[in-house]
């Protein structure tokens, strides 16, 4: 069983995690940080950050690179911790860990690039330049669905660009983040990277702590609360929020390959990811074939404990999450959607002790159906039939979200229109919605606020820009 920080915590401050595939099994015990403790952690972070920012950039990147290598040496232990606490199949957990390391190395390369410019002079004898400095202390709050990817996505650029970081991982699955931090214990200055386990009250205190930057990944509602709280101190914000992502099938010469990619993008992490495809928009004459193909793929998935051989679908993270998913599915049915498969817990009694939800396909609904509008965050696909290309694009953009979208088509005019009109931060043509490790991860509208968290644009959050005028004496 994982145990971190319990020796210095009172019984009232200790919380436990459980295996979502078998909720009677305790997985970890953690000593929570109280909101009253946050100020002291910020003070220690500021002290460490001053010396860290003063290091030459190449020396700093060398030390962060050694930290990434130390995390890589613990990759298997981290993946197993993810499966035990979050529930995803071990192969998925290993894939998440590998991607987190790849993203980290990409960000190290980006942080080593020039971050300033020499500008055209407007006055004789003056050389104007721009430069960037570390922002300072970063407060980071991460969710439970990607227990190592999201923490690494915030920790590595924060350190690489010269900041200190206070990280609050989700209390549902913090072990992977603790293993990551343990890997850097002897490589990073004390106080530079601090893990603060705890609940929402701790998160609120962290946002209000006066940190120069606040980065959060999670729901829109919580993101709005973070936005309001951070405004009090005018902290810079980077918010990764939800999605209601669509795949638009215009024409698919190889429908099977198309549906393979859609189902993979929909059911990875049991649908518990912001980039999951949850809507499939298809011409009416193709709708029945698409629905049948997605049903076959959903029914071929094997739910179970993520450590078991052959399992391809893990449980949802908690009983509350399963109840929320089921409530939305039942609301969708009450509003007229047809249930094609799934729609509840699997029949297998061996799975009764876990938070499993059968992969679900819904169709025959209108654009106002809850399943077509709300982020379900579970293994649920809604099929919407379109009567024309105009109707399809209207359905595609009929959402408050703007994270990612996909188009399957061989028509150059349709592809160009999708690139020009899709209201998403990330656009995929003829493949699913998995982003590359070196590309901007960015949402618009209700899906994101501030600079993206991956790619060159991340520097706009982790650093401040300054104008310099070099005059001759």
pLDDT of residue 134: 97
CA contacts within 13 A on the Cβ side of 372: 23
Domain 245-429 has CATH 3.40.309.10: yes
Report how far residue 421's alpha carbon sits from residue 220's, in angstroms, rounded to the nearest whole number.
23
**Percentage of the chain modeled with pLDDT above 90:** 88
pLDDT of residue 189: 95
pLDDT of residue 8: 67
Report how far residue 26's alpha carbon sits from residue 19's, in angstroms, rounded to the nearest whole number.
6
As to burial, measured by CB atoms within 10 angstroms (0-12 exposed, 13-18 middle, 19+ buried), residue 342 is: buried
pLDDT of residue 299: 97
Listed in order, strand segments (DSSP E) in 135-208 are: 137-141, 164-168, 193-195
- Which CATH number fits the domain 2-241+445-471, given the four candidates 3.40.605.10, 2.60.40.10, 2.70.70.10, 3.40.50.620? 3.40.605.10
Does 1 have pLDDT greater than 80? no
pLDDT in tens, 246-282: 999 999 889 999 999 999 999 999 999 999 999 999 9
293, 242, 259: which is closest to 430 by C-alpha? 259
Known catalytic membership, residue 85:
no
Q: Which of 269, 274, 340, 452 is catalytic?
A: 274
Known catalytic membership, residue 16:
no
Neighbouring residues of 417: CB distance < 8 A, sequence distance ≥ 6:
393
pLDDT in tens, 134-162: 999 999 999 999 999 999 999 999 999 99
pTM of the full predicted structure?
0.93
Judge if 2-241+445-471 and 245-429 fold alike in CATH terms. Answer: no
Listed in order, strand segments (DSSP E) in 1-107 are: 2-4, 14-19, 22-31
The dihedrals phi and psi of 173, each to the nearest 5 degrees, come to: -155, 65
Q: Which of 240, 258, 269, 340 is catalytic?
A: 240
**Contact (CB, 8 A) for 418 and 363:** no
Domain locations in the chain as residue ranges: 2-241+445-471, 245-429
Three-state secondary structure of 259-281: HHHHHHHHHHHHHCCCCCEEEEE
């Amino acid at each position: 069983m994982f145990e971190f920080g319990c020796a210095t915590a009172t019984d009232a401050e200790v919380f436990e995690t459980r295996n979502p595939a078998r909720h009677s099994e305790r997985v970890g015990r953690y000593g929570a940080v109280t909101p009253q403790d946050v100020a002291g952690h910020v003070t220690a972070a500021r002290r460490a950050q001053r010396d860290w920012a003063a290091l030459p950039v190449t020396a700093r990147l060398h030390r962060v690179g050694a930290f990434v290598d130390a995390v890589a040496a613990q990759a298997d232990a981290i993946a197993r911790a993810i499966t035990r606490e979050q529930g995803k199949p071990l192969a998925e957990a290993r894939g998440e860990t590998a991607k987190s390391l790849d993203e980290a190395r990409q960000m190290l390369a980006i942080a080593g690039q020039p971050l300033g410019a020499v500008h055209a002079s407007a006055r004789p004898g003056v050389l104007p330049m721009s430069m960037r400095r570390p922002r300072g202390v970063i407060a980071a709050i991460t969710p439970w669905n990607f227990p190592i990817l999201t923490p690494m996505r915030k920790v590595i650029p924060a350190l690489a660009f010269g900041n200190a970081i206070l990280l609050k991982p989700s209390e549902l699955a913090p072990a992977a983040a603790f293993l990551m931090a343990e890997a850097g214990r002897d490589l990073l200055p004390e106080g530079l990277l601090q893990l603060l386990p705890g609940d929402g009250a701790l998160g609120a205190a962290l946002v209000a702590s006066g940190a120069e930057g606040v980065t959060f990944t999670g729901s829109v509602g919580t993101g709005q609360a973070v936005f309001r709280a951070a405004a009090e101190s005018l902290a810079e914000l980077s918010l990764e929020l939800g999605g209601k992502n669509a795949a638009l099938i215009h024409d698919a010469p190889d429908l099977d390959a198309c549906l393979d990619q859609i189902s993979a993008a929909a059911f990875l992490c049991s649908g518990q990811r912001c980039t999951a495809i949850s809507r499939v928009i298809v011409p009416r004459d193709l709708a029945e074939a698409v629905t049948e193909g997605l049903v076959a793929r959903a029914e071929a998935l094997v739910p179970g404990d993520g450590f078991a051989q052959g399992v391809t679908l893990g449980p949802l993270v908690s009983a509350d999450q399963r109840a929320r998913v089921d409530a939305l599915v039942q609301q969708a049915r009450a509003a007229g959607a047809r249930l094609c498969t799934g729609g509840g817990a699997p029949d297998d009694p061996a799975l009764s002790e876990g938070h499993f939800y059968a992969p679900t396909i819904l169709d025959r609904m209108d654009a106002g159906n809850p399943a077509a509008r709300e982020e379900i965050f579970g293994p649920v696909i809604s099929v919407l039939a379109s009567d024309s290309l105009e109707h399809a694009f209207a359905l595609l953009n009929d959402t408050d979200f703007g994270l990612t979208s996909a188009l399957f088509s061989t028509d150059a005019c349709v592809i160009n229109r999708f690139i020009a009109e899709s209201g998403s931060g990330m656009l995929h043509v003829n493949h699913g919605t998995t982003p590359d490790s070196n590309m901007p991860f960015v949402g618009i509208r209700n899906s994101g606020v501030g600079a993206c968290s991956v790619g060159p644009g991340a520097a706009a959050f982790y650093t401040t820009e300054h104008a310099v005028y070099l005059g001759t004496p």
